Amino acid sequence: MPILDCRGLTCPQPVVKTKECIAKDHPRELEVLVDNQASLENVSRFLTKNGYSVANEETTPGSWKITAHGGDAQAPVEDAEYLACPTPKTVAKTLVLITSETLGVGDDTLGSGLMANFLATLSELGDQLWRIVLLNGGVKLSVKEGKALESLKALEAQGVSLLVCGTCLGHYGLLDKKQVGETTNMLDIVTSLSLADKVIRP
């Protein structure tokens, strides 16, 4: 059984190494060692998407062993497949990339209000709105109570995919405070940008 030691690696490298292992060796079982929560969530999610049954054990404080069983012995699904959205192909996929908790430069109070209004208005895009990606300070929107968080929850409930950067959450000490969205890594984010027909960056 392959054992991948990804301790000391930052996202998305643990996911990349796991993907390479599955593509090369097609193991039915494997173990992945990680030492940050973002990698724990991202590797577990990737393995689950590839048909594995996943369990994890905290071996020492802040370090985990991810054990995967039952893979289908095939190469991993391509990023374009496991990031696919049920939106019909005839509808253009629009991605919104948010890198700050405020909109515009000048007054932060005004900026916070503008961001809340922006998120509340995104539903007007209808089926075209495919995915929202929160990066850097934008991840704080997935934590802080208020109209912005309410709008994000409503959009997710409507079927909009919401990705929240795990490295950014970890940097701000917010990994355990996220209230909406799926913790993700830079591989997912870059792939999402390449798959989108249109990218909006407010």
Say how far apart CA 186 and CA 12 lie, in whole Å: 5
The domain 88-200 having CATH identifier 3.40.1260.10: the answer here is: yes
Query: Is pLDDT of 164 > 90?
Result: yes
Query: Per the structure block, which two tokens stand in for 112?
Result: 């916070």
pLDDT of residue 31: 94
Nearest 5°: phi and psi at 54?
Answer: -115, 135
Look at the block and give the residue holding tokens 């369990």.
Answer: 55
pLDDT of residue 71: 65
Q: Which pTM was predicted?
A: 0.66
Write down the domain spans for the chain.
Answer: 3-78, 88-200
Burial 71-108 (b: 16+ CB within 10 A, else e): beeeebbebeeebebebeeeeebbbbbbebbbbeeeee
Ranges 72-76, 129-133, 137-141: which has the least confidence: 72-76
Query: Is pLDDT of 72 > 90?
Result: no
Each residue's pLDDT tens digit, 2-20: 899 999 987 788 988 999 9
Ranges 10-14, 41-45, 84-88: which has the least confidence: 84-88
Handedness of CA 162, 165, 168, 173 (dihedral sign): positive
Concatenated DSSP letters of 122-145: GGGGGGGEEEEEE-GGGGGGGTS-
Ranges 45-54, 95-104, 145-154: which has the least confidence: 45-54
CA 98 and chain centroid, separation: 13
Rounded percentage of the chain residues whose pLDDT exceeds 90: 61
E strand or H helix at 56: strand 53-60
The domain 3-78 having CATH identifier 3.40.50.11540: the answer here is: no
Fold match flag (3-78 vs 88-200): no
